[in-house]
Structure 1
Amino acid sequence: MRTTSVADEVLRAALELFAAQGYANTSVQQIVEAAGVTKGAMYHYFSSKDDLLFAIYERMLSLQKRRLDEITAKGGSAEAVVRAVCEDVVVTSIDFLREGTIFFRSQHMLTTERQKEVKRRRREYHDAFAELVTRGQAEGSFRDDIPVSVLIANFFSDVHYLPHWYSAEGPEDKTEVAEQLTALFLRGIRRSDD
């Protein structure tokens, strides 16, 4: 009995192949053979290889946005919420490290429509994050001498750099890395009374 769906098998196969040989060098035929499905079965769920690349990244985008909404809904001070959100985005980015790496290497090959959709989804997340930082400024917790966009770029540059250095075999696990990067970020944006 099969425990995974055809769509999951196709995505798994695409992820493996994109990681091993690159998006541009992977054919639909290779994907369906690795997934053990027919092209018709794949096309029932995905209209193109472009759809597969988008779906790989979309899972991470959806999870992170859902988690941000859940954390925000719990309430608390802006600093407490920002801490929880930052730690979550680092952990989920590490959980989806391979997916994110493949996507960032290949996103320029997406159709213009898909690129716009990714940009819109990422902007939605960043805008919600910016609202939290702005709330922290209004509460007097976060510095306001640097534009919010620069503060956010500072944090997400660390997140986007994770594939270049993070290893699950390294000395720190994902939770420790999330706590450390978050602590550094919060120290940098916290208002100083000096």
Structure 2
Amino acid sequence: MVRERILACAVELFAANGYDATSVQQVVARAGVTKGALYHYFGAKEDLLFEIYHSLLADQLARLDAIVARKADPATTLREIIRSLAETTSENSRAVAVFSREASRLDEERWQTLRAEWRRYQDTVRGIIRDAQESGVFAAYASPEVISWAIFGVNTSMPTWFRPDGPKKAVEIADELADFVLAGLRP
């Protein structure tokens, strides 16, 4: 609970002020904890930035694994993946925006950890598309890479245009995106 509060406060401050302009002391004050409490959970300010996205990515990977484990048909699986991405991105839009803007602040080791996790996500989605194309369930007009980039691009850009109080809910946008992608994959 304390750990999550510290992370939430770091997201708020990094989103409002930027990573460089936010001090550990500001995070501590906003979270209502001591520096010792912060350092109990995070060894450095950079650990906060890493964990902001790492925790989201871990959730997305867990959801992806659960979707794939259901062994539904490829269209249903891809639709559920798109929904999951849209939901987690919209629910964590500030964290996604912070990471998009501040990722270059991470050291090489942390960056490689996130890249490996993201690569596993991408490879799983691309494998679903590729297998369905090879079996004739999906058309092969575009490569799995291009199709996945379209899906991921819409989702990672959500913090710049999606508004929770807007005319459409994240799930409605996800369903429209899934309809669009799946129409293009119809043999």
TM-score range, shorter chain: over 0.9
Distance 2:109 2:31 in 1: 27
Identity within the alignment, %: 36
1:190 CA drift (Å):
2.5
Structure-to-structure mapping, 1:74-93, within 5 angstroms? 74-93=70-89
Aligned to 1:147: 143
Partner-residue secondary structure (3-state), 1:55: helix
Shift, 1:96, TM fit? 1.0
- The one-letter amino acid paired with 1:29 is Q
Partner of 1:160: 156
Q: How far apart, CA to CA, are the structure 1 residues paired with 2:10 and 2:87?
A: 23
Unaligned runs of 5+ in 2: none
- In structure 1, the gaps of 5 or more residues are none
Q: Deviations over 1:50-72 (max 9, x none)?
A: 11011111121011111111111
Residue in structure 2 matched with residue 26 of structure 1 by the alignment: 22
Q: Which amino acid aligns with 1:63?
A: D
Give 1:92 shift. 1.2
Alpha-carbon distance between aligned partners in 1 of 2:93 and 2:72, rounded to the nearest angstrom: 29
State the partner residue of 2:108: 112
From 176, 180, 187, the counterpart of 1:184: 180
| Partner AA of 1:189 in structure 2 | L
The equivalent of 1:130 in structure 2 is: 126
What is the CA RMSD across the aligned residues, in angstroms? Answer: 1.2
Shift of 1:32: 0.8
**1-side partners of 2:67 and 2:137: how far apart?**
19
Total equivalences in the alignment: 187
1:65–1:125 Cα contact (<8 Å) kept: yes
Q: 1:147: how far off?
A: 2.1
Aligned mates of 2:136, 2:4 — CA distance in 1: 46
**CA deviation after TM superposition for structure 1 residue 6, in Å:** 2.1
Give the alignment partner of residue 53 of structure 1, picking from 49, 55, 76: 49
8 Å Cα contact 2:42-2:48 kept in structure 1:
yes
What is the TM-score of this pair, normalised by structure 1?
0.92
